[in-house]
């Protein structure tokens, strides 16, 4: 009797101890899981929902799959431009002769302008609009998509985001046809930079069999420091001459551009 009575509390204490250890272990496991894995899962669900809400009405599942295969389970510094070939094949760009608009350092004006007029930029295409302003990367040994801690161009050139924009810009310029427009920024000393995406990729891809002319619109803001006479544009003109593409440049004030957006015209480019 006495023995049994004294054993019971000990048993209870042991059971209590076991329950407590299991609880502590579970909490530790949950914390580790959240920090390591679920974080990626949550970031993935965030970017995925943005992707699908912007993609609507297209073959979004197939496009998402082609997008992911470019960078998932890869070192985020070794994603080459070619990794996006299947994505570009899944959502190819259409030629829109006379309506294609390129830009360099003028995103603020271009975005608003293209939205209200017949011009379309890379950011107005399906892929461009779905991925605009997003950040993504993968990690070796993980099937997840991450949106934080991803390398930028300063860390490495072949990061998932930079490689996507280089590959998309090249493909967009490949289909440029008719009269092509480019908006450059007159508020910076060198409006045409050979190192920019426009200068290093798009301009190189223009092909005279498709592209008739390149019409540069130099956006002249109040703080403008240069215009169409800038020497940097001689390089651009030279490249077009070599290809056999007609080159034009016109200084257009920002207010004139805004006026053009508020009076949309049927045929592109008649406003300046
Ligand atoms: C042109 O560049 C300046 C200086 O970087 C910037 O403040 C301005 O917003 C740019 N203009 C456009 C139209 O994006
Ligand atoms: C294309 O540009 C050329 C010269 O740059 C011009 O003569 C022609 O009318 C333009 N074509 C269209 C369809 O705007
Ligand atoms: C332009 O396109 C034509 C036909 O597609 C091709 O034969 C030619 O090599 C291209 N030119 C350049 C400079 O890429
Ligand atoms: C263009 O800029 C140069 C100096 O950079 C200036 O001398 C010239 O008057 C400007 N031309 C126009 C049409 O604004
Ligand atoms: C014009 O272009 C040249 C050469 O590309 C550059 O060095 C210069 O600073 C530019 N800007 C002005 C305002 O002259």
Residue identifier of the C-alpha nearest atom 3 of ligand 1 = 187
Element (H, E) at 101: strand 101-104
Atom of ligand 1 nearest to the CA of 219: 13
Place of tokens 């427009």: 181
Element (H, E) at 166: helix 160-174
Residue identifier of the C-alpha nearest atom 14 of ligand 1 = 106
The 10 Å CB-count burial string (b at 16+, else e) for 210-244 is bbeebbbbbbbbeebebebebebbeebbebbeebe
Ligand 5 center from residue 170 Cα (angstroms): 27
**What's the confidence (pLDDT) of residue 12?**
62
Please, what are the averages of pLDDT over each run of 10 residues along the chain (272 residues)? 50 63 64 55 87 88 96 97 97 92 94 85 95 96 95 96 98 96 96 96 96 96 96 96 97 91 65 76
Ligand nearest to the CA of 265: 2
**What's the confidence (pLDDT) of residue 84?**
98
Cα 117 to Cα 235: distance, rounded to the nearest angstrom: 29
Ligand 1 center from residue 88 Cα (angstroms): 30
Cα 138 to Cα 35: distance, rounded to the nearest angstrom: 16
Q: How far are the Cα atoms of 28, 93, 136 from residue 35, in angstroms, in the given order?
A: 11, 39, 18
- Count Cβ atoms below 10 Å from residue 245 Cβ, excluding itself: 21
According to CATH, the topology of domain 10-267 is ADP Ribosyl Cyclase; Chain A, domain 1 (1.20.82)
Cα 196 to Cα 184: distance, rounded to the nearest angstrom: 11
pTM of the predicted model as reported, rounded to 2 decimal places: 0.84
Cα 137 to Cα 72: distance, rounded to the nearest angstrom: 7
Ligand nearest to the CA of 213: 2
Ligand 4 in reach of 226 Cβ (< 6 A): yes
**What's the confidence (pLDDT) of residue 77?**
97
Residue identifier of the C-alpha nearest atom 10 of ligand 1 = 106
Element (H, E) at 241: helix 232-243
Burial tier of 196 (Cβ tally within 10 Å: 0-12, 13-18, 19+)? middle
- As given in the structure block, the two tokens for residue 75 are 């070192």
Q: Can you give the residue ranges of every domain in the chain?
A: 10-267
Q: Which residues pair with 249 in a beta bridge?
A: 216
* Cα 82 off chain centre by: 15
**What's the confidence (pLDDT) of residue 9?**
54
């Amino acid at each position: 009797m006495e023995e049994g009575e004294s054993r019971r509390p000990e048993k209870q204490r042991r059971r209590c101890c076991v329950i407590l250890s299991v609880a502590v272990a579970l909490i530790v496991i949950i914390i580790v899981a959240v920090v390591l894995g679920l974080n990626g899962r949550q970031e993935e669900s965030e970017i995925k929902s943005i992707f699908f809400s912007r993609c609507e009405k297209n073959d979004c599942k197939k496009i998402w799959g082609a997008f992911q295969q470019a960078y998932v389970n890869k070192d985020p510094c070794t994603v080459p431009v070619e990794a996006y070939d299947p994505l570009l094949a899944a959502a190819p760009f259409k030629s829109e002769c006379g309506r294609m608009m390129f830009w360099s350092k003028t995103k603020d004006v271009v975005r608003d302008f293209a939205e209200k007029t017949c011009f379309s930029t890379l950011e107005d295409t399906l892929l461009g609009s779905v991925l605009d302003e997003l950040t993504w990367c993968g990690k070796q040994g993980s099937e997840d998509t991450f949106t934080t801690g991803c390398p930028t161009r300063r860390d490495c050139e072949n990061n998932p985001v930079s490689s996507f924009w280089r590959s998309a810009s090249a493909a967009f310029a490949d289909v440029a046809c008719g009269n092509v427009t480019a908006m450059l920024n007159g508020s910076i000393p060198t409006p045409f930079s050979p190192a920019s995406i426009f200068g290093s990729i798009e301009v190189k891809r223009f092909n005279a069999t498709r592209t008739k002319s390149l019409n540069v619109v130099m956006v002249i803001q109040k703080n403008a420091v240069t215009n169409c006479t800038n020497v940097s544009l001689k390089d651009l003109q030279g490249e077009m001459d070599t290809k056999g593409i007609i080159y034009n440049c016109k200084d257009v004030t920002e207010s004139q551009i805004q006026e053009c957006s508020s009076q949309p015209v049927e045929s592109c480019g008649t406003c300046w």
